[in-house]
Copies of this chain bind each other. A is one copy, B any other.
């Protein structure tokens, strides 16, 4: 083991190990690609059991579902940083995160909500047809579902994977009830930007 390992070697050996963990599961092809990328990114095979999919519209041809000029809205900058710009090029897509926008900070203060939730109220109808990815904040996911309930936003797909002991599991359980909304989520407290980024990158890669 040394720094002399090529990126190709590492990727190849790692993917072989990941494949070994998937033998006991029966996923649809697109789901399987997502699970592989999540385990590869986190080195935590136990996450496979908690991933929940509602991707019927996206299978078997995800490419037909992700449009040119795809917009991705994220709750936090870490997740924005984790989405592959190279994979996005194919779609001439953009990634947005407004958590540091002063208008959002003002809205959060005024409504006494988190900045991540305020960012989604700020995005509002811009979320129509967009891929929404949440990797940290349960309140951002609650805000998004509130906008969906009010028919203000109809996202193309929601990657809803907030993390934490307070509200995360509940927000993801709520998302699971939206059978008309394509989504990927992870039940329980765990989640986070690397998991959400791995899901988004898998969709971009195999789309």
- Chain B residues with Cβ below 8 Å from A165 are 13-14, 17-18, 40, 43
Q: In this assembly, does A185 line the interface, its C-beta being within 8 Å of a C-beta of chain B?
A: no
Q: Which residues of A contact B (CB under 8 A)?
A: 1-7, 9-10, 13-14, 17-18, 40-44, 76-78, 80-82, 108, 112-115, 117, 138-139, 142-143, 146, 163-168, 170-171, 189-194, 197
- Would B163 and A42 count as touching, CB distance under 8 A? yes
- Would A3 and B166 count as touching, CB distance under 8 A? no
Partner of A10, one of B42, B82, B166: B166
Partner of A190, one of B13, B18, B44, B193: B44
Docked CA distance A5–B146 (Å): 14
Docked CA distance A193–B18 (Å): 20
Q: Which residue of B lies closest to A17 (CB)?
A: B165
Docked CA distance A146–B26 (Å): 43
A65 CB to nearest B CB, Å: 26
- Would A142 and B43 count as touching, CB distance under 8 A? no
Q: Other than the known A10-B114, A77-B82, what 20 A-B pairs have Cβ atoms closer than 8 Å?
A: A1-B167, A1-B171, A3-B142, A3-B143, A4-B113, A5-B113, A7-B108, A10-B167, A13-B165, A13-B166, A14-B165, A17-B165, A17-B166, A43-B190, A44-B190, A78-B82, A81-B81, A82-B193, A192-B194, A193-B194
25 of the cross-chain contacts (CB-CB < 8 Å) are A1-B142, A1-B167, A1-B170, A1-B171, A5-B113, A5-B167, A6-B112, A6-B113, A7-B115, A9-B166, A10-B138, A10-B164, A14-B164, A18-B165, A40-B165, A41-B192, A42-B163, A43-B164, A43-B165, A44-B189, A44-B190, A78-B194, A81-B81, A82-B193, A193-B193
